[in-house]
Amino acid sequence: MENFLLWGFYFLTFYAFLPGIISRTFGFRVFKEGRAKKEIALTFDDGPDPIYTPQLLDLLKRYDAKATFFVVGIHAERHPELLKRMHDEGHVIGIHNYVHKSNWLMRPSTVKKQIHRTSEIIRKTTGVRSAYYRPPWGIVNLFDFSNLGYLQIILWSSLFGDWRKRVGAERLQKRIMKKLRPGEVLLLHDCGQTFGADEDAPANMLKALEPVLEAGKERGYKFVHITDMIAITDKNKAAAPSFSLLKRAIIACWMGWERVFHVLFRVKSGGEGAIFHYRIIPYGGKTIELEDGRRIEPKDPVVELHFDNQKLLGMMAESKSMMHVAIRLIREVQHGMPKLAKKLMEDEAAGTVKGLYGVSMINRGAEQFGFSVLPIPKGLFDKSTRIYLKLLLRVLHPSGKQRLAEQGARLEPRIIAMSMAEFWHRYGQDTKLAREWKASAAKADTKRNTGAHNSMTPGTFDNANAAAGEAAP
């Protein structure tokens, strides 16, 4: 019995678990995220539904948005008029098995029959054979890669739990807004008639989706079906330097670790689409003397800044030089600082912090945003930081090794820091928290003028802007 269970475990590992992990982590033989500047791919699973799919099609039509529908064959068979409408209105139809059942629980021949049956339903209704397949729950087995070579397997970059009614429209909208950025393949559901789903959950999805479409329109984004997203991605990949298979594997592991780090150490987003993440911690280094006369002392609470390495990866992959990276980074920081201010205004813990603090190799030009740029004190932290950041550059940039060889001496990590009084002066809106900081700074100014030292003492605010050329390493 023990041997039987052991062999069963081995079979399941190679038949299902490993293919699933490899496809999700490394994108092997699947498409799960695009490379685009304005486009976002909307995908909907489990339909068509006679109540919610027509409402969804009406909504997409109002915003001139295109989508990909991965239909369950048994539902499509009952509502061919909805398939025809999807096709006639310019959407793409994909296959999601004939019944919503995991490929892990079916033999390869059964999976093949399910797909063929659903494909025939689509062909007879629309006159076109589907080229795309999304396995239920995104689960593939070992034979899917070989048996389904004529189909492109489509997974996703973001899903939101919208099959559960208790998520609610408001929370669902916030979740989607966080992922509203070019290249994303968003997974939603237009039908709740599958195992584990709530039948009326799509009502919340429709309520959440309309403001998302409105926000996307305001930002200049375009919602496209998967055919367009793949074509745009292929074009952008051809124009950009490519990563080797080994480097892609390293990047996937690195990004995976970053996600784990954010959870373990409670790193927060710096705002929708912002370049920054942050956490509030006690400062653990030596005293920092800032340009405005203030100090950050050991154990002072600070906002520790972290760049979004996924965004940096995109910049570096698309940029021809480190100068181009630096210029793009300056623009991202310019847009990101007001977003960070808004987030900190909403964060109760931010009321006690003394300043912002971070370490970066791409630091020239940071002064124009109010940061003091300072050398890292010599020691173990300095050495380990240099190794980490140069390794990061080598991994993230397609020609990172060459960049380090050419400009390694100029890519020196530095501390970038700013007092909260300076931060609120530059980026704070007229809110209670910002007014409290400014009042505190005014009192500290009075103390300094009478000779008393205070780490909150305001100095002269230097608004001089560094030229974009000076900002590049």
Q: Which helix (H) or strand (E) holds 227?
A: helix 226-239
20-32 CB burial, b ≥16 within 10 A, e <16: beebbeeeebbbb
Q: How many helices (H) and strands (E) does the chain have?
A: 17, 17
Is-cis flag, bond preceding 48, omega within 30?
A: yes
What is the spatial distance between Cα 386 and Cα 454, in angstroms, rounded to a whole number?
A: 33
234 carries an active-site annotation: no
Place of tokens 């950050």: 296
45 carries an active-site annotation: yes
State the catalytic residue, choosing from 96, 189, 306, 425: 189
Strands of 251-388 (E only): list them: 268-269, 276-282, 288-289, 295-296, 301-307, 355-360, 372-375
State the catalytic residue, choosing from 45, 46, 300, 308: 45
Task: Tell me the two tokens of residue 210.
Answer: 């309309």
| CA Rg value for the chain | 26
Q: Parallel, antiparallel, or unpaired: how do β-strands 68-71 and 92-95 relate?
A: parallel
What is the spatial distance between Cα 331 and Cα 82, in angstroms, rounded to a whole number?
A: 45
What is the spatial distance between Cα 401 and Cα 390, in angstroms, rounded to a whole number?
A: 9
The alpha carbon of 215 is separated from its chain's Cα centroid by a whole number of angstroms, namely: 17
Instruction: Give me the active site residues, please.
Output: 45, 189
